[in-house]
Every structure is written in structure tokens, then in C-alpha cells.
A and B are shown apart, each in its own frame.
Chain A
């Protein structure tokens, strides 16, 4: 089994941190994992791609992911900037989108209002809702690759105290609220 995931986010949205938490969670579940960030224009707001691989076999390659099995979109607005066609190859990707309303992608799509969850949970840093961990809660539901408890355990390595509590709350809410909203 080998799964390739692409995170599309904006600089400052914490996708790189999320990818590392995810990789650690996957390893904790007994899988091999790899999270490659695509750095370049490290400017707040620019579109950032992060690649995650999960596999039952050791992962040898270090190439970028061109045709992912799953695309996680950190904010809906990114879909206006990026032409999704470039990621579609032999595989039809599944989408997970941070959005309060359904989004038409032409593929199987899940949505979650991670921004709303972050604001309600009080996960806002310097005016930015912190949505990265919530999306990992959703991803657990969408992929079934790892359990929520494992994710929560790993969150404890990355965060402490009140911040950890809030992150756990956000992750749980996101897991519950993630739902399929496919529009072809």
C-alpha cells in the first residue's frame, strides 16, 4: 500500500508543521512516511505545496508528487489560483477542502470548516486562524490511515498546555464535522 498526499496551502498556514505531525503519526501507526516541503517563495500568503507519502514498504524516492491520491486544500481561495489539472494523471484524486460550503471539483470531495472550528476553539495566532491540526483530524476520517487517538498522542509531542488542549479539541471537532460533499 502506498498513498501520496498533496497539501495546498498558503505560507503561514502551518502546512509544513502539519505534514511533520502527520508523518510522525503515520510512523506511530507502524507505517513508513515521508513529508517533503516545497520551499521557495517563503512569503506569507504564497501558495505552498507539501508532499506526504505513506507506505507499508520503506520509501526510497525523494521526488515531488505529481499525481496525488489525495489533495488537501487549506483554503478554498487557493482553488482560484491553482489549476488543478496539473495534478490529475492516471489517478483520480480525492479532495479534502477547508470550506464552510460545498465545493465543486469534479472529483470525490470532503469538506470541513476548519477555519470556523479554529476561530470557535480560540486557535488564532496573530490574527490567523490555525487550521493545520484540524485538517489532520479530518484527514484521519477521510483516509482511515491512522486513528484519532494516535494523532492526539503525537500532538502531545508538538504542543503543550493550553495550546495542546485547544488543538485536541479542534482535531476532534474536525473529525466529527468532516463530510462528503461531492459535486460532479
Chain B
């Protein structure tokens, strides 16, 4: 066994993505720059230009072209990557459904940014959540280290013959994309061991001289069967995600727990639930609350699709109260995660769906702690509470 000579440094999230793409030996990249994703594109283009990466980088005229081209390359059998954000993702939206529908295992970084109007370059999660029903596997990173690890793992998951679905990795604009953080980089041989080259023939491969088309008009029942098959692939992905995480931990020495990460949940009476970079901030809040004697823990969703139903059910059953933090909103319903999690919250368990942090509004660990105290206080005063949607802004929790 070769010795580990890990590079330890501080790196911004966008560079971590680019580094992961290089180390995953990606062969094809097409992307169109948009704030705050631009640095990913610049860095990859630089590495290809300098010959540090053996890959083709294609300059495209739009995000629509970026994903079309990436999808095409992947259909021809190579490992392919693209990256976008917010309005860029919306501009390529039609193709996102095509990529998933045609079961093309590309990986895309989505640098989360609020969708206008008003124009805003700061983070929230609504952009990546537009992929929710499309057939993309959706992952959200908590920090720069995980952004790197997740990008590597994404290829493994996407290209698994039991899965064959595209993966989108969310890293939050500025607070991950432009934030320099401690990171430990594995050696190339470790990554190679974890992630062998892609099997170019799976699920099918366009090559010269062979005549076939993908996704042509057919019987309606055929359409429906394709969707059901993709659903099965999503279910399979749950296991593959977990296995990939274990294998990664075995080879590289860092594991997260699969679809979810459990933080101080053992014996917790109150369960907090979140995804993305502010989960780290919420962990600090959990620590503060625990110090004050509150029985709380955090269930962090690393993946939103496939949805970690079993993990959520297991964690929530027997809890006294659940509070979901959504940095997104499904207008006309509630926070997106709240909508999804509510299915698994028994009628006698207290619940708050808290929408906060939209458009990049910062929420501190102290603020999270005081929201949780407000929730626990209400449960203890009233015996029970159920509020599907409350908002947190300017130190107030309110309903409208």
C-alpha cells in the first residue's frame, strides 16, 4: 500500500469542484459562465489549456448549448461535466429533462443562486430544486471538503449500471463557491481506485456507422414505462449512494453516511432538518442548545433526490417535534423540504416549517438557536404546535 501524502490547504468551493473534475479524469466539459459559477469554468479551461487535464473543453454560446453538448459527449461514451447557476440552469431547463429522460450519466455542479427578480447573486436553494421532478439525482454539499468529495462520488453514482441518471451537486453561491476553507485532497491513485474509467457502452453508445435514435416518438405506454424504469433507477440509487460513500470512506478515509448525515440525533427529542451550507451553522446552534440542556439534533439531507424516506421515517418516529429549515419556497404551498417531510410527520408530532435565508439573507447560529427555542417554547406552552409555513426575517418568526 502506497503512503498517503495528502495535500492540506485552504481552497474555495469553485476550485474544489474544478479539482475534483480533474481528478475524476473527466474527458469532456462544456459550460457557459455565470456568477457565481464562473470560476469553475475558468479554472477548468485553464487546466485544459495548460495540458494539466487531458480533456476537451468546449466554449459554447449558452447554457442550453452547454448541456446539449455535454449530453451529446456523454452519449458518445465519455465522462462529461458541466456547471451552471440560477438563471443559467433555467435557460438549459428543457435539456435537463432530456438528459435525465435519456438516462445520460453526466454530472453538473449547480452553484446555488437566487432566481430573479429582483436580481440577486446570493444563495438560496430554489434553483437546484427546479430539477426536483426531472429525474436528476440532487445532492447538496455542506462545505468545501464535501463539495470535492461529492463531485467525485457523483460520477460513481451516475455511471453505476443500476442507476444511469445525471447528478446535480449544489454548492452555495459565495458561501461555498467563493469561500476558502480547509480541505484535504486525496492522491490521484486513491481517486483512481475509487473511480475507474467509465464503461462507455452503458447505457448505450453513439458511434460512427451504427444507426439508432434515442427517445423517438413511440407508444404512450412506452413513455410511461420509461418513467417507471427511471423511478426504479432512483430507488437503486439509494443503495448505490450509500455504497459509494462507504467505499469512499474505505479508500479515502472520509465518509458522510449516505443520503443523510445525522448530527447529535441520538436520544434527541426535537429533530431539526436542513440541507446545504447553512447546516454547518445549524450544527453550531445544536451545540449551543445542547449546552443549555435542549434535547436537539440535526438530520441533514445530503440528497434530495432520491428522497431519503426511510432515514427520515426512522429519525422522526418517536420524536416530540420537528422543525424544517427551508432556504427555498414553493409558492402556494410551503418550503420545499417542509412539503416533502410533512408526509412523514405523524399528526401528533409538533411541526414548524421555517422559510428563511432567501436571496442570501444571512442567518446566524444564534438566530437558529433562538428559532428552535421559540418552537420548543411553543410546544411546551401549548402541548402541541403545527405550523406548515412560518417565515424568519429580521429577528422575527411570523405568519402572513
Contact = CB atoms under 8 A, between A and B. Distances in A.
A, B from the same assembly: yes
Interface of A: 16, 19-20, 23-24, 26-28, 32-40, 58-64, 66
Contacts of B278: 62-63
B149 to A, nearest CB: 14
User: What is the interface of chain A mostly: helix, strand, loop, or mixed?
Assistant: mixed
B277 interface: yes
Given A61-B281, A63-B365, A64-B364, A35 B179 contact: yes
Counting chain A CB atoms within 10 Å of each CB, which of B175, B180, B280, B362 scores highest? B180
Contact of A60 (B122, B175, B281, B362): B281
A31 to B, nearest CB: 8
B181 interface: yes
Nearest to B367: A63
B182 A32 contact: yes
Given A60-B280, A61-B280, A62-B176, A35 B10 contact: yes
Q: How large is the interface on B (under 10, 10 to 19, 20 to 34, 35 or more residues)?
A: 20 to 34
A34 B179 contact: yes
A124 to B, nearest CB: 26
19 contacts: A20-B12, A24-B9, A32-B182, A33-B181, A34-B10, A35-B179, A35-B180, A36-B174, A37-B174, A37-B178, A39-B122, A39-B174, A39-B178, A59-B181, A60-B280, A61-B283, A63-B278, A63-B365, A64-B362
A97 B372 CA distance: 39
Interface string B170-192: 00101110111110000000000
Q: Which 10 A-B pairs have the closest CB atoms?
A: A23-B10, A60-B280, A35-B180, A23-B180, A63-B364, A61-B281, A24-B10, A20-B180, A36-B179, A62-B277
B364 A59 contact: no
Given A23-B10, A27-B9, A62-B281, A34 B365 contact: no
Given A24-B10, A61-B284, A63-B364, A19 B181 contact: no
A60 B182 CA distance: 11
Contact of B182 (A16, A27, A38, A40): A27
A61 B178 CA distance: 15
A33 B8 CA distance: 11
Contacts of B362: 63-64
A50 to B, nearest CB: 10
Interface of B: 8-10, 12, 36, 121-122, 143, 172, 174-176, 178-182, 277-278, 280-281, 283-284, 362-365
A16 B172 CA distance: 18
Contacts of A35: 10, 179-181
Contacts of A34: 10, 179-182
Contacts of A26: 10
Contacts of B121: 39-40
B10 A62 contact: no
A63 B10 contact: no
Contacts of B180: 19-20, 23-24, 33-35
Contacts of B9: 24, 27-28
Given A33-B10, A40-B121, A58-B182, 17 more contacts: A20-B10, A20-B180, A33-B180, A33-B182, A34-B182, A36-B174, A36-B178, A36-B179, A39-B36, A39-B121, A39-B178, A61-B365, A62-B172, A62-B175, A62-B277, A63-B281, A63-B363
B334 to A, nearest CB: 24
Contacts of A28: 9
A60 B175 CA distance: 12
A66 B365 CA distance: 11
Nearest to A60: B280
Contacts of B10: 20, 23-24, 26-27, 33-35
Nearest to A16: B178
A33 B277 CA distance: 16
A69 to B, nearest CB: 16
Contact of A23 (B172, B181, B283): B181
A26 B181 CA distance: 10
Nearest to A25: B10
A32 B280 CA distance: 15
User: Residue among B8, B122, B182 with the most chain A CB within 10 A?
Assistant: B182
A37 B364 contact: no
Contacts of A38: 174
A62 B147 CA distance: 14
A40 B174 CA distance: 10
Nearest to B172: A62
A63 to B, nearest CB: 4
Q: For B9, B122, B176, B363, which residue has the most chain A Cβ atoms within 10 angstroms?
A: B9
A66 B175 contact: no
A173 to B, nearest CB: 25
